[in-house]
Amino acid sequence: MILKNTLVTRNSFNNFILPFYNPPSFIPIKGKGSRIWDQQGKEYVDFSGGIAVTSLGHCHPLLNKVLNYQSKKIWHTSNIFTNEPALRLAKKLVLSSFASHVFFANSGAEANEAAFKLARYYATKKYDVKKNNIISFYNSFHGRTLFTVSVGGQSKYSDFFGPKPLGIQHAEFNKIETVKNIINKNTCAIVLELIQGEGGIIPASKSFVRELRCLCNKYNALLIFDEVQTGIGRTGKLFAYEHYGIEPDILTIAKSLGSGFPISAMLTTSKIQSVITPGIHGTTYGGNPLACAIAEATINIINTKNILSGVKQKLKRILFELNIINKRFKLFTEIRGMGLLIGIVLESKFVKKIHDILHFSFLEGVIFLTAGKNVIRMAPSLIISESDIVEGMNRFYRALKKF
């Protein structure tokens, strides 16, 4: 084998990898469906889904087949050419959404960066150079490039990196008055997550989204939905905006789109497409054949009645188990979210111990995420089996007992 199978441990992380993260001591080396195994062969039920990415579980056999097939045809050509998987994937996204055109990139941040640049470019070309203000929301998360992290509403992520891009204003999520107070003719876009993900699994209310749509129409501003976390089946519909009955002008998706193979997309309408000419934006890897083939297969599998309606069933089962847990431990005050993007809002006495709860869960063999300071987040595979749900929840019960 060309890979050397020398043993590496968690210590290597401290020695060789920049500590932007602080991973737990175990190292996953294998995944199948909703289960993960570490170096010691210990097995875990995975409710993290790679942060809402592995919506078809780990190593789905059909995706492995597609990956293998495409890897023998062609991996990468750059965007000086187009390619068959990208063309098929774009057509599929257009046919199943509000959009008429698609741009492919490699991460959520890049799709949002493209969306924000496009909103400004469109307003500048069509109206006025001064029309460049973007309104976003406190507590929101849009990625880690300097532009996207500045548009994001958590200054702890954007402070200390020097001057921030100008022309960004923040309003209060679900409080339309705070938007009305700052929107004006120089607003080029309003951007929001329909469910604030990293911020704590907080859904936007229907009336809020409807009023944002009206404000955007009134002020000739574009409405941008960041569906990086909610898109591609996570909420039980292909896109979360379908629950709201409101269409954006620009939509971004990433996480679930590639099942773990990096790919993202920005979708928009022909009205906006009309200002675009070759060269004003670009990417080397975006829309490469390997990523697009996997994304196409991912959508083919997820965008079926069976899987989308299954989301509701699985949520029901998880809620049933969580309520049993809550009877015993008085763990949470509320469950928030939509479909299989689930936020467990902790009772105040548990908030400071959230990382201990996760740690005890790891020890018992079940994996969760956090969101915000006081929420345990679950974003499991959309096809997690009932027995995996029950086993994972039993382990969670035992973890809480020991904790």
Q: Which two tokens stand for residue 21?
A: 């993260």
Report the phi/psi class of residue 93: left, alpha or beta, with left for phi > 0 and alpha for psi in -120 to 50: alpha
x/- mask, ligand PLP, residues 208-237, rule CB under 6 A, reads ------------------x-xx--------
CA distances for 314 relative to 243, 244, 246, 317, 395, angstroms:
18, 22, 26, 5, 17
Among 46, 113, 193, 249, binds ligand PLP (CB under 6 A): 193
Going by C-alpha positions, the residue among 267, 344, 255 that lies closest to residue 302 is 255
Q: Closest approach of Cβ 371 to ligand PLP, in Å?
A: 10
Is 372 a binding residue for ligand PLP by CB under 6 A? The answer is no
Q: Which is nearer to ligand PLP, 89 or 325 (CB)?
A: 89
Task: Work out how close the CB of 154 gets to ligand PLP at its nearest, in angstroms, rounded to a whole number.
Answer: 12
**Site membership for ligand PLP, residue 108 (CB under 6 A):** yes
* Other CB atoms within 10 A of residue 250 CB: 26
Q: Closer CB to ligand PLP, residue 338 or residue 389?
A: 338
User: Please, what is the minimum distance in Å from the beta carbon of residue 220 to ligand PLP?
Assistant: 25
User: What contacts 308, CB < 8 A, 6 or more positions away?
Assistant: 233, 236, 237, 238, 302
Question: Is residue 158 a contact point for ligand PLP (CB under 6 A)?
Answer: no
Q: 107 or 187, CB closer to ligand PLP?
A: 107
Q: Does 107 interact with ligand PLP (rule: CB under 6 A)?
A: yes
Closer to ligand PLP by Cβ: residue 110 or 249: 110
Q: How far is the CB of 53 from ligand PLP (least distance, A)?
A: 9
- Tell me the C-alpha distance between 87 and 307, whole Å: 25
Q: Closer CB to ligand PLP, residue 198 or residue 364? A: 198
Gap between the Cα atoms of 353 and 355, Å rounded: 6
What DSSP letter does each residue of 146-177 carry, written as one string? HHHHHHSS-GGGTTTSSSPPSSEEEE-TT-HH
Closest-by-Cβ residue to ligand PLP is 108
Does 201 help bind ligand PLP (rule: CB under 6 A)? no
Q: How many CB atoms lie within 10 A of CB 326?
A: 16
User: For residues 151 and 325, which CB has a smaller minimum distance to ligand PLP in the complex?
Assistant: 151
Chain contacts with ligand PLP (rule: CB under 6 A): 107-109, 112, 141-143, 193, 197-198, 226, 228-229, 254-255
